[in-house]
Amino acid sequence: MQRAAFTIIELLVSVAIFFIVAAAATPAYQIFVKKNNAAEGTATVMTALANAESLSRAVSQDTGWGVAVQATSAIVFDGASLASSTPSLRQIFSLPAGIVVSGSSSFAFTKLYGMPQAAGNISLFVPGAGTTTVSVNAKGLISD
């Protein structure tokens, strides 16, 4: 009487095929994660900028609002600069790991009209995924 079962050779071949496929998929997954981090970082910075602009137009706390972009976070603050802002009013948006920030590091929006005090660009570089740039023009338009 014969039993229907897998031999050890069949199991080893199946496991070997699984590991070969997994090894081939790993680099593609790593690229996907890096590109996702770049997109998430861009969206986070744009959200922080839009939030600061909105708070400025709403004249929240009777002041303008701004954003300071640092290596690990984008901080929405009240007033003209992060240094002179009220710590309890700050909103901190975390950036994904591995992002290198360059360009303008701080934007401040005027109260009531929400116009930026200066136009500029923030570049977010993720090794292996490239650079994305978030721009704020003189009229306050935020784009990537």
Q: Is the pLDDT of residue 91 over 90?
A: yes
What is the residue-averaged pLDDT of the chain?
92
Q: Summarize pLDDT for 20-43 with one digit per residue, the tens.
A: 999 999 999 999 999 999 999 999
Q: Summarize pLDDT for 92-114 with one digit per residue, the tens.
A: 999 999 999 999 989 999 999 99
Q: Summarize pLDDT for 2-14 with one digit per residue, the tens.
A: 777 788 999 999 9
pLDDT at 1: 60
Residue 60, both tokens: 């929240």
pLDDT at 81: 93
For 13, residues 6+ apart whose C-beta sits below 8 A from its C-beta are none
Torsion of CA 124, 129, 131, 134, to 10 degrees: -60
Burial class (CB in 10 A: 0-12, 13-18, 19+), 136: buried
Is residue 136 situated within a structural domain?
Answer: yes
Long-range own/partner contacts, residues 6-11 (CB < 8 A, 24 or more apart): none
pLDDT at 102: 93
User: Comparing C-alpha atoms, which of 46, 66, 47 is closest to residue 56?
Assistant: 66
* Reported pTM: 0.84
Is residue 22 situated within a structural domain?
Answer: yes
pLDDT at 41: 94
CATH number at residue 63: 3.55.40.10
Is residue 103 situated within a structural domain?
Answer: yes
Q: Summarize pLDDT for 46-81 with one digit per residue, the tens.
A: 999 999 999 999 988 899 999 999 999 999 999 999
Q: Whole-angstrom Cα distance, residue 54 to residue 88? A: 19
Is residue 1 situated within a structural domain?
Answer: no
Is residue 121 situated within a structural domain?
Answer: yes
Domain containing residue 107: 8-143
Q: Summarize pLDDT for 103-144 with one digit per residue, the tens.
A: 998 999 999 999 999 999 999 999 988 999 999 999 989 998
